[in-house]
Structure 1
Amino acid sequence: MKQQKKLMFSKSVAYKWMVSYAVIMLIPLIVSAIIYLQTKQIVEYEIERAGHAMLKQMQNTVDSEMNQAEKMAMQLSIHNDVNKYLNLTLPDERTQSFQIYKARQELSKYKSTNDFVTGIYLYSSRLDKVLTDETYVDSNTFYEINRQMIGMPYADWLTMLKGEADREKGLLPQIEFKRWGTNVVLMKPFSNAGGENVLRGTLVLPLNGSKIQNMLKNVDWVNNGDVYIVDKNQQILFQSNSLANFQSVPFADEGEKGAGTSFMDIAGTENMVSFIDSDTTDWRYISVFPSSVFWEKAREIRNLNLFGLLLCFFVGGGVISYYARKNYNPVRELVNMFSGATDEQSQRVLDEFAFIRESALATIRERDDSNSRQFRQLRVLQTYYLSRLLKGQIEDGLTVEEAARLHHFEWESEDFAVLLFYIQGCGEDGPSPSLANFIVSNILKDFTGEHHGLSFTEMDGMLAAVMNIGAGRSASWKEDIEEALAKMLEFIKQKYRLHIVMAGSERHTGLNSLHLGYLQALEAQEYRLVLEENVSVWYGDIEPQQTDYYLSLNDEVVFINLIKSGELAKASGMVDDILAQFFGSQVSIELVRYAMIDLSSSIMKAVPQETQRSKLWEEWRPMKRLLVCTTRGEFRQELMELTAIACGMANEKLTLMSNNGIGEEVSAYVKDNYADINLSVSMIGAHFGITPQYVSKLFKEQTGQGLHDYISQIRTAEAKVLLQDGVTIEEISARVGFSSSSAFIRVFKKYEGITPGRYKNLQ
């Protein structure tokens, strides 16, 4: 029951209103949801931009200090006292002690000018001693004093100072950074000026790690993350968190470009990793911070946004439900009042939208149907009344004004004329006769305008019009209708491909004269037979002259003999002479119809009797074809066609009578074309130029066998040969001219007594 009520409510107007309001409410909700989803991306973008700026600031500061240290190393490499010290040998060491002192003083000066380095160590390969700004001792003693700082075995440390590993690679670097334990040093090797593959010494500048670490700690978010400086081998040179035990950063090579940011999982925690490459060294600056750091504030914004979405959803849903039901009640009362439903069940299942729509459509349809019925009834009454008027059946004492008011005619005067229209289409794709009458009547009314009133009906297969001549147009009514007819003919011929010919009566006064007008128009229409084609005729323009009808018996015998002998040219010439006798002057229609009957009967006498009994001759129906002609041109065309057909039949009979060898020719033709599926008696007759009936009759007379049976026997004989060769029945049926295998089996069994399959098995 609840499910049924739910289904009923889904058809209600209130439900549709609620859905419409909900769709409108969803627009801001969707926008808010999109903003909610974009919050994380916006925050991430801002954090990335801030982190990149901080790294860039730190990179600029550290790179600037490194440039100063590198410049110091380059200046010391070209200093005269430093080079003199490196060129000393063991024998010269005692004599050049002042020179060593001067070099140490220079180192002390340079150290005091740059707090980025914690000391300056100059190792001499020839003396195997280390000169600093404070001491001058041999390498072993220096190592023992600074063992903790160096953080590696003495042999490895000495090998690094002598650059033996770099010499094996074949290339000595200008300046490189090395890691001594927890310290990073800048090393500048001094090559031998003599080209020997031995270093004169190495300049070592320990970097101030505490200062760099303080720079890293100055980054705003360092308390929640880590900042690293790594070399090209991903070895950590400096880091903000001194308690971290990483020796290298495995994610340092994630980015191949100069700078970038990515999110990755490190030790089970999502972190934002930003990096930037140094402009002067092969170092990379990396910051690693948990994503939760920058989401602490953003989470509050997201929660507030989500709360607002939920609040809008529930409040908006309640408001929608309230106003939808409030606006729905008047509509529901109106629907219940017009629906006529008394029980609650009928009222509840009613779809208001469908009911209103169907009720409106039903009312419109009812109105249109009523108007259409009234219009059709009025047209039927008008047509019936006009037909009675044209036939002379009129009510006594009924005036024109009363008739117009009673039958809704637009008649304004007492003057009338009757017009008859002969309408003929130009092809099979033209409009039907009823549609053609409708087109002509409406277009003619439009072109006639308001000068005259036209009312149409059908009389004896023609469109008849009762024309009420407008007041003041009695002198030019013929010109008006001819002008309108000319416009209509041009329009209809182009668009509807119709040929129209009009015949009209003279002007008459009163309803009693309409019958006379119809007879005049009918006589004018019939008289078009003696005029040219498609010429409109007025009754006042015809003046028939009575002439004698004369067609001698001798002329008829000559005409029949010409047809029997097949002389078409002479027979056609005689037809033209006979027509010239009738149409040489204006004759009566009766004489023309007499001539039609005589000529058609003469043609029928000349046709062989067996042809007259055939179905083909019944289809030609020469008498009917001549009697339906309405113009002189149509009458001559039909008469010439019938004459040609009759002469062709006579020639066909003469040809058959003279051709005694037709049986052999037909047999040869069948043997050559038996595989053609279209081979038939009609095809053979068309090939030899004679009718199928006569070719079949002549073949049987000459061979003693029916032509159809002969064709089937030839095909059966050829099929037997193919069966012996193992060809399939389907292929045989196609190769010997049968339309299907079933037809082949039926014919084969008829002439051989067994089926093709059994015949094939017997072979």
Structure 2
Amino acid sequence: MEKFVPNRRSVIFKWLLSYISILIVPLLVSGLVYMGYSRALRSEINDVNAALLRQVKSDVDARLSDTETLSVQIGWNPRLKSLIADRSENYPADAYNLIMRDFKVYRMSNSFIENFYILLKDKNAALSNVTVLRDDLYEQMIDRYRLLSNGEPLRPLLWNKHASEFITLQEESRPGEERTVVALLQSLPLDSSVDVNATLLILLNNSQLTDTIRNIQWIDRSVVLLLDENDNILASSEPYTLPTELRYSNLDEQNDLYTYTDESGRAYTVAHTTSDVIGWKYVSITPNEVFFEKSNDIRRITYITILCSLLLGLVMSLFFVKSNYLPVRKLVGVLADKAGIPFDQRHNEFGFIEDALSSTLGDKQKVDRVLDKQLQHLRQSFLGRLLKGRVDPSMSVQEALSLYDLHFSSDDFAVMVFYIKEIEGKALGGMDREKQFQLARYIIRNVFEELIGRKHFGLMTEVDDLQAALCNLSPGAADPEGDLADAAREGLQFLQENFGIHISVTQSTVMHSLEEIPAAYTEAYTATEYNILMGRADLTSYRDIELGLKEGNQTYYYYYPLQVEVQLTNFIKSGDYNNAKKILNELFEINFKQFSLPSMITKCFMFNLTSTIMKTIYEITAPDHNDLSELGAVERLLGCQSVTEMDMELNKILIRLCEYTREKNEASDLIRRAVQYIQKHYSDETLSITQIAEQLSLSPSYLSKRFKEVHGLGLLDYINKTRIEAAKVLLTGTERTIQEIAESCGFTGSNTFIRTFKKYEGITPGKYREVSSSPQE
């Protein structure tokens, strides 16, 4: 047994590929599960981040609200109100001590406050919970603070009206050392609507603000910061430089969670919310890798699961492929060994098994088909010789019929010939012309063998590139020619409607012996020639065209009298297409519809009509025969194979000739008007082709072309010659100077006149005057 080795087309590889494809499904599911988990984890971390940010907002906003409340309590302190109302410079020291004692209580009640001052405008002093600052100390204390937004001093802002207004200050705590401070300004007294006699300045404890942010349990490596409207970081969980993407104006309340990428390509997720007390924003910034680090374990487990599934699936696929493939391999080996059929490496095993079984079991059918095909070919060849009367004389017709298994039921025969005129539509589209006609002949053969076989016996064959049917008519048929005509008409309609095949079908008369079969074929072939000439695609019987063919003394003629030819020529020359076409229609009506001319007489008429067209073309286009390039059309007219083709070509030529004639007549009138204009205005030195064309409402190029066609020279040459002729009259008949003559004839100067005159006359104007005035010997 021959050793078998699977090739690359083997089914083993297809099976393996199918099993592996099944493995893709769980792998895709695992990937989708991992992606869903990652999204869920990211969403959960963002939710936690946002919740923590809301907690910071709640705590800080509560402290800020307490500070506002404290400012109101301080403002309503009766001792403080009395102090503000007192305008004297010397206020009792005991009263100061009582107020400072109250301030200590306020200070101890709110750890969020670092310090506060009552700035007294009239007394030029500042009162805190521990001391009273006067004069220079007071000035120094105020000058330590500047606005963080623009660096302006705090002093001008103190005596404006403020109602618990938070601001950010830059404090110079020590020489050369500054820090950012959040402060609250409250104008005093509270019940004053205009005058501001004092201002409460509360300084918040920034370290407390930062600790509040840091004390929240944040996600690792997240940064939380408090941002004011001027992009100042008031507090932060760790040192941070604010990037452009996180400016206050870029934090949209409608999009409180989004992602941005810094210059290094690192991505961050940003959450933010706005304080309910003031316009500050609480911002949380988390690197995106935090999310991926949280999902590393799940990702690792997913990868391991996918890898294990893939390995296990591959092992099982190989096992099942091998188990299923062994019986197929044995069967292929047996067929290759026992049947002696080598395994074709271009096919897989199933293809080889199919080919081997077909080869083994179909040998007898193949031999029978070859014999039937050979017999059919021989029978077709015999029928062709029988129709043309070229049967081998060494064998009788009866013997040949017996040899080719042909049996006729009667001695009555008729012949039908089929000619394919046209194939259209999509039924036989998509193939070249040769294959179209080959398939069409096959269809015609099957259709008409079936139609003829309904009442008679018919055999189809090909003769001289035509298809012919030898019809053996059934005994006792009442109207055999009518039966064949009905079958032909039904076949014509079926082929046109279903396949777009247009054919000519001709039918002979009925013959009554085998020996008359060639005569029947001759009749059908003659009728086919007539159909081709007339361009017909229908049923034609030999009886329809046999009028006079059997009468030896019959003289044929066609209708085309001389006066009709003259009328046709005159109508064409005058460009009267409608009357010219009317004459042609009358000629075709009389010659081909009222009478049936034999093919040779029809050809004579076609040549005569073609000769008329050629003579008319010559007369119209003379002397320049290139004006109308109809030579190709005449050649096509001479090559027409049918009356229909000739009618179409004649119509095309008539249209072109009549158009050309009308255009030529119109051009002659235009050129006459152009000449008149030149004769009248030649003395105008600005006269040009463009000027003339504008007067005639034509384009310069069209006018130049038509002028040259009529006069044989260019329009500019004609203008110059007209001027030269006028100048010649003045040279010989007057004593005017060359310059005067040049100007009066339209030349721009004497030099141009001399150059142009010499170009056309061969001598200068002066020489011409001298020669013309000298006496002639």
Q: TM-score, normalised by structure 2?
A: 0.54
2:333 aligns with 336
User: Alignment partner for residue 302 of structure 1, among 299, 304, 317?
Assistant: 299
Q: Does the CA-based 8 Å contact 2:10-2:348 persist in structure 1?
A: yes
1:591 aligns with none
Report matched runs for 1:42-57 at 5 Å.
Answer: 42-57=40-55
SS at match of 1:57: helix
Q: Does the CA-based 8 Å contact 2:159-2:199 persist in structure 1?
A: no
Q: CA deviation at 1:293?
A: 6.1
**Structure 1 alignment gaps of length 5 or more:** 144-151, 552-558, 560-567, 574-630, 652-667, 684-763
Q: Does 1:455 align with 2:459?
A: yes
**TM-aligned CA distance change 1:370 to 1:202, over 3 Å:** farther
Q: Does 1:635 align with 2:638?
A: no
**TM-aligned CA distance change 1:47 to 1:461, over 3 Å:** closer
Cα distance in 2 for partners of 1:272, 1:115 equals 34
**TM-aligned CA distance change 1:11 to 1:525, over 3 Å:** closer
Q: Does 1:480 align with 2:478?
A: no
**TM-aligned CA distance change 1:20 to 1:461, over 3 Å:** closer
Q: CA deviation at 1:234?
A: 6.0
Q: Does the CA-based 8 Å contact 1:70-1:175 persist in structure 2?
A: no
Report matched runs for 1:92-103 at 5 Å.
Answer: 93-94=91-92
Measured against aligned partners, the alpha-carbon deviations of 1:461-508 in whole angstroms (never above 9, x if no partner) come to 87553434458x7235443222112233455678444332211315x6
Q: Does the CA-based 8 Å contact 1:175-1:187 persist in structure 2?
A: yes
**% identical aligned pairs:** 20
Cα distance in 2 for partners of 1:480, 1:460 equals 26
Measured against aligned partners, the alpha-carbon deviations of 1:507-552 in whole angstroms (never above 9, x if no partner) come to x6xxxx433566567579879999998741479x99999978499x
Report matched runs for 1:541-620 at 5 Å.
Answer: 549=553
Report matched runs for 1:362-377 at 5 Å.
Answer: 373-377=370-374
Measured against aligned partners, the alpha-carbon deviations of 1:150-180 in whole angstroms (never above 9, x if no partner) come to xx974644889xx953528998764324476
Cα distance in 1 for partners of 2:120, 2:98 equals 15
Q: CA deviation at 1:370?
A: 6.2
Cα distance in 1 for partners of 2:368, 2:155 equals 111
Measured against aligned partners, the alpha-carbon deviations of 1:195-228 in whole angstroms (never above 9, x if no partner) come to 9x99743313344667656643552336876644
Q: CA deviation at 1:323?
A: 1.8
Cα distance in 1 for partners of 2:464, 2:324 equals 65
**TM-aligned CA distance change 1:488 to 1:107, over 3 Å:** same
Partner letter of residue 246 of structure 2? E
SS at match of 2:412: strand
Partner letter of residue 204 of structure 1? L
1:444 aligns with 448
Partner letter of residue 443 of structure 1? V
Partner letter of residue 451 of structure 1? K
1:704 aligns with none
Report matched runs for 1:56-455 at 5 Å.
Answer: 56-73=54-71, 82-91=80-89, 93-94=91-92, 117=113, 121-132=117-128, 137-138=132-133, 154=141, 156-157=143-144, 164-165=153-154, 167=156, 174-178=165-169, 186-190=183-187, 200-207=197-204, 212=209, 215-221=212-218, 227-231=224-228, 237-239=234-236, 246=239, 249-250=241-242, 254-255=246-247, 256-258=250-252, 259-260=256-257, 274-287=271-284, 297-340=294-337, 352=348, 356=352, 359=355, 373-384=370-381, 386=383, 414-415=409-410, 417-424=412-419, 426=421, 440-448=444-452, 450-455=454-459
**TM-aligned CA distance change 1:451 to 1:88, over 3 Å:** farther
**TM-aligned CA distance change 1:433 to 1:202, over 3 Å:** closer
Q: Does the CA-based 8 Å contact 1:456-1:466 persist in structure 2?
A: yes
Measured against aligned partners, the alpha-carbon deviations of 1:731-756 in whole angstroms (never above 9, x if no partner) come to xxxxxxxxxxxxxxxxxxxxxxxxxx
Partner letter of residue 487 of structure 2? A
**Structure 2 alignment gaps of length 5 or more:** 174-178, 425-432, 566-595, 616-621, 636-777
1:564 aligns with none
Q: Does 1:15 align with 2:13?
A: yes
CA RMSD of aligned residues (A): 6.4
**TM-aligned CA distance change 1:638 to 1:371, over 3 Å:** farther
Cα distance in 2 for partners of 1:238, 1:101 equals 35
Q: Does the CA-based 8 Å contact 1:422-1:502 persist in structure 2?
A: yes
Q: Does the CA-based 8 Å contact 1:229-1:285 persist in structure 2?
A: yes
Cα distance in 1 for partners of 2:395, 2:482 equals 32
1:515 aligns with 515
Cα distance in 1 for partners of 2:13, 2:464 equals 64
Q: Does the CA-based 8 Å contact 2:410-2:472 persist in structure 1?
A: yes
Report matched runs for 1:637-652 at 5 Å.
Answer: 637-640=602-605
SS at match of 2:484: helix
Cα distance in 2 for partners of 1:114, 1:29 equals 61
Q: Does 1:536 align with 2:545?
A: no
User: Alignment partner for residue 506 of structure 2, among 497, 501, 509?
Assistant: 501
Cα distance in 1 for partners of 2:19, 2:53 equals 52
Partner letter of residue 167 of structure 2? E
Q: Does the CA-based 8 Å contact 2:169-2:182 persist in structure 1?
A: yes
Q: CA deviation at 1:459?
A: 6.7
Q: Does the CA-based 8 Å contact 1:36-1:306 persist in structure 2?
A: no
Q: Does the CA-based 8 Å contact 2:523-2:542 persist in structure 1?
A: no
Partner letter of residue 638 of structure 1? K
**TM-aligned CA distance change 1:124 to 1:12, over 3 Å:** same
Q: Does the CA-based 8 Å contact 2:89-2:123 persist in structure 1?
A: no
